């Protein structure tokens, strides 16, 4: 019978050949009975300060049913393997009757939607307003050095989406194992390490993502799809509640199925949809700062005297603080071990921040966003002639404009030593070894809303104190972090269609239905499946 054995403990120095013997000990059987053993999950347990961190793995294997010891609570019988959701290739006569589907946005959601549609034989057209990953990477590198800002191709627009310049974290709380597996296997197929299939906190790094994404694009093309760059969605054409066509640059493209995967920063798309009458709704989001501290402090706090062990690598953290009388809740987000803080922008005269790590995670500093929830009721009414829903992203824009202006008007990142922020003064200088050298001392309280500052002032020291050995004088804040999620949701029904437009499929982070690379990719797969169902008899 096929079984899954959980909570198998391995030392830091374990070798692959050790695992069968350890599993046999767990099952109290002869080594010869261990057949078709496969590790399916691996995590690090460093909870005890008195003993060395160790690995915890789950394995699958074939094992004689009559020899199972019933009192072993760590065993699960595998009745049926989860099936990966792959739609069959559609018959040509079903495809020929309709125009090809259009996918807008080449981030994780759009790439996976286009790949699945191409595999099904639907020859999708994938459009992306920014440049292809290699060209985009060069553009962004020049921007970080002080060159001109490109409004159409930047850290937030372009092939790979905003996640191309990130840590490439592939963690997800989704229980949709088949689609998660399909996405991760697609990454491995395109060059990612097979370890992402078993690690509890997998990541690939921005340098590896930049190689993977073009290979995924080529897969889409190989299956019959088309990919166009420097192509912006300018309009959707709707008749009697149904999508008829889209305008890309100056070209009208007939389609009755469009995956809208434009990401959380395409504010012009929100504006176009609002004026087109597509149903939108306000949603909660979060803003705050990017916190940077020495990676060695994080390693020591998490790994203790085993910090620096080659099997452990750079440590990460996840911190939260509940709402208190004088402050809202606060939480860390998008933690980048051994990484750097980067400048981001999608509109001229505005700037935000994000974190990024390469695959080795071997830089001297760690960083993470520390965010405060923003509720729809927090958004001030502008009273402009625009639809009121657009006030949500205008709230973000106002913060980003202040950051740009106070930072000197040249896309330098506003920053402050933590102690200076807590005491309400501008830093005289910034640590010379900080990850972002194009940063300048600024009073972050002039950028962020008062209630956000009050929460950060109360919460950050208490949160960092949970990690023993962290020195507050070494902590730097960069601001502001405004793009963790979309402030607007494009409303859709259970069938995936926009509730106001049949054939329009709002998808991913920008549509308000995902929060990260994995969840966006899963949502892209679901959108493709919803479209494929419309082709079936």
CATH code of 180's domain:
3.50.50.60
In a domain, 88, yes or no: no
> Which of 429-436's residues contact partners 24+ apart within 8 Å by CB, and which partners?
430/476, 431/474, 431/476, 433/364, 433/365, 434/292, 434/341, 434/365, 434/476, 435/292, 435/339, 435/340, 435/341, 435/363, 435/364, 435/365, 435/367, 436/340, 436/341, 436/342, 436/343, 436/478
Note down pLDDT in tens along the chain; length 537 residues. Answer: 899 999 999 999 999 999 999 999 999 899 999 999 999 999 999 988 778 999 999 999 999 988 887 657 889 888 775 666 666 788 888 888 899 999 999 999 999 999 999 999 999 999 999 999 999 999 999 999 999 999 999 999 999 999 999 999 998 878 898 999 999 999 999 999 999 999 999 999 999 999 999 999 999 999 999 999 999 999 999 999 999 999 999 999 999 999 999 999 999 999 999 999 999 999 999 999 999 999 999 999 999 999 999 999 999 999 999 999 889 999 999 999 999 999 999 999 999 999 999 999 999 999 999 999 999 999 999 999 999 999 999 999 999 999 999 999 999 999 999 999 999 999 999 999 999 999 999 999 999 999 999 999 999 999 999 999 999 999 999 999 999 999 999 999 999 999 999 999 999 999 999 999 999 999 999 999 999 999 988
The pLDDT value given to residue 172: 81
Q: Does 109 share its domain with 257? A: yes
Among 45, 77, 109, the domain boundary falls at 77
The pLDDT value given to residue 332: 97
The pLDDT value given to residue 72: 73
Q: Does 459 share its domain with 492? A: no
Q: Does 347 share its domain with 242? A: no
Q: Does 407 share its domain with 431? A: yes
Residue 465, sorted as left (phi over 0), alpha (psi -120 to 50) or beta, turns out to be alpha
In a domain, 85, yes or no: no
Q: Does 109 share its domain with 27? A: no
The pLDDT value given to residue 71: 56
Q: Does 314 share its domain with 453? A: yes
The pLDDT value given to residue 92: 86
Q: Does 274 share its domain with 296? A: no
> What are 309's two structure tokens?
């062990």
Helix, coil or strand: residue 464: helix
H/E element, 143: helix 133-144
In a domain, 84, yes or no: no
Question: By residue range, what is the domain housing residue 255?
Answer: 99-282+488-535
Q: Does 321 share its domain with 449? A: yes
Q: Does 431 share its domain with 336? A: yes
Question: Taking a C-beta distance cutoff of 8 angstroms, is the pair 212, 191 a contact?
Answer: yes
Burial of 348 (0-12, 13-18, 19+ CB in 10 A): exposed
Measure the CA–CA gap between 370 and 382, rounded to whole angstroms. Answer: 27
Among 47, 77, 107, the domain boundary falls at 77
Helix axis angle, 517-535 to 108-119, nearest 10° = 30
Measure the CA–CA gap between 324 and 234, rounded to whole angstroms. Answer: 45
Measure the CA–CA gap between 133 and 160, rounded to whole angstroms. Answer: 7
Question: Taking a C-beta distance cutoff of 8 angstroms, is the pair 490, 507 a contact?
Answer: no
Q: Does 318 share its domain with 426? A: yes
In a domain, 494, yes or no: yes
Measure the CA–CA gap between 412 and 441, rounded to whole angstroms. Answer: 10
In a domain, 318, yes or no: yes
b/e string for 56-71 if b means 16 or more Cβ within 10 A?
A: ebbbbbebeeeebeee
Q: What is the pTM of this model?
A: 0.95
CATH number where 49 lies: 3.30.70.2700
CA 349, 443, 353, 522 dihedral sign is: negative
The pLDDT value given to residue 77: 87
Phi and psi torsions of 391, nearest 5°: -60, -25
DSSP 202-213: -B--HHHHHHHH
Q: Does 358 share its domain with 473? A: yes
Question: Taking a C-beta distance cutoff of 8 angstroms, is the pair 213, 164 a contact?
Answer: yes
Among 481, 499, 525, the domain boundary falls at 481
In a domain, 497, yes or no: yes
Q: Does 222 share its domain with 310? A: no
Beta strands per DSSP E along 118-158: 125-128
Helix, coil or strand: residue 243: strand
Measure the CA–CA gap between 362 and 23, rounded to whole angstroms. Answer: 33
- Per the listing, tokens 């959707």 go with 236
Q: How many domains does the chain have?
A: 3
């Amino acid at each position: 019978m096929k079984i899954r054995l959980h909570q198998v403990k391995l030392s830091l120095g374990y070798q692959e050949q050790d695992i069968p013997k350890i599993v046999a000990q767990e099952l109290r059987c002869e080594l010869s009975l261990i057949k078709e053993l496969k590790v399916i999950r691996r995590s690090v347990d460093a909870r005890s300060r008195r003993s060395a961190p160790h690995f915890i793995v789950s394995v699958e294997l074939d094992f004689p049913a009559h020899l199972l010891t019933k009192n072993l609570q760590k065993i699960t019988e595998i009745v049926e393997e989860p099936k990966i959701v792959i739609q069959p290739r559609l018959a040509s006569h079903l495809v020929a009757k309709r125009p090809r589907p259009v996918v807008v946005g080449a981030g994780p959601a759009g790439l996976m939607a286009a790949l699945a549609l191409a595999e099904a034989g639907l020859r999708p057209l994938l459009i992306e307003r920014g440049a292809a990953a290699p060209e985009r990477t060069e553009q962004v590198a020049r921007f970080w050095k002080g060159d001109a800002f490109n409004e159409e191709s930047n850290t937030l627009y372009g092939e790979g989406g905003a996640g191309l310049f990130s840590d490439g974290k592939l963690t997800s709380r989704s229980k949709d194992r088949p689609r998660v597996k399909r996405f991760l296997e697609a990454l491995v197929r395109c060059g990612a390490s097979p370890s992402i299939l078993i690690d509890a906190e997998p990541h690939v790094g921005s340098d590896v993502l930049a190689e993977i994404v073009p290979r995924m694009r080529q897969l889409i093309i190989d299956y019959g799809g088309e990919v166009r760059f420097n192509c912006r969605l300018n309009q959707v054409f709707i008749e009697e509640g149904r999508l008829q066509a889209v305008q890309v640059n100056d070209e009208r493209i007939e389609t009755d199925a469009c995956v809208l995967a434009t990401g959380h920063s395409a504010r012009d798309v929100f504006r176009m949809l609002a004026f087109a009458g597509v149903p939108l709704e306000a949603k909660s989001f979060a803003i705050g700062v990017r916190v940077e501290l020495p990676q060695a402090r994080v390693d020591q706090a998490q790994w203790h005297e085993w910090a620096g062990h080659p099997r452990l690598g750079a440590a990460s953290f996840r911190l939260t603080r509940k709402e208190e009388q004088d402050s809202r809740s606060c939480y860390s987000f998008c933690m980048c071990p051994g990484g750097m803080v980067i400048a981001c922008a999608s509109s001229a005269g505005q700037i935000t921040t994000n974190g990024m790590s390469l695959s080795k995670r071997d830089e001297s500093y760690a960083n993470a966003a520390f965010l405060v929830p923003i509720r729809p009721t927090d958004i001030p009414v502008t009273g402009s002639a625009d639809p009121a829903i657009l006030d949500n992203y205008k709230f973000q824009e106002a913060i980003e404009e202040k950051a740009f202006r106070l930072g000197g008007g040249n896309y330098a990142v506003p920053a402050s030593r933590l102690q200076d922020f807590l005491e309400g003064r501008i830093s005289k200088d910034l640590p010379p070894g900080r990850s972002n050298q194009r940063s300048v001392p600024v009073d972050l309280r002039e950028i962020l809303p008062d209630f956000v500052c009050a929460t950060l002032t109360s919460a950050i020291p208490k949160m960092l104190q949970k990690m023993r050995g962290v020195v507050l004088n070494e902590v730097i804040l960069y601001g502001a972090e405004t793009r963790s999620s979309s402030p607007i949701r494009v409303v859709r029904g259970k069938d995936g269609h926009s509730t106001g437009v049949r054939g329009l499929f709002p998808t991913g982070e920008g549509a308000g239905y995902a929060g990260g690379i994995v969840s966006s990719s899963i949502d892209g797969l679901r959108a493709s499946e919803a479209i494929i169902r419309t082709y079936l008899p």
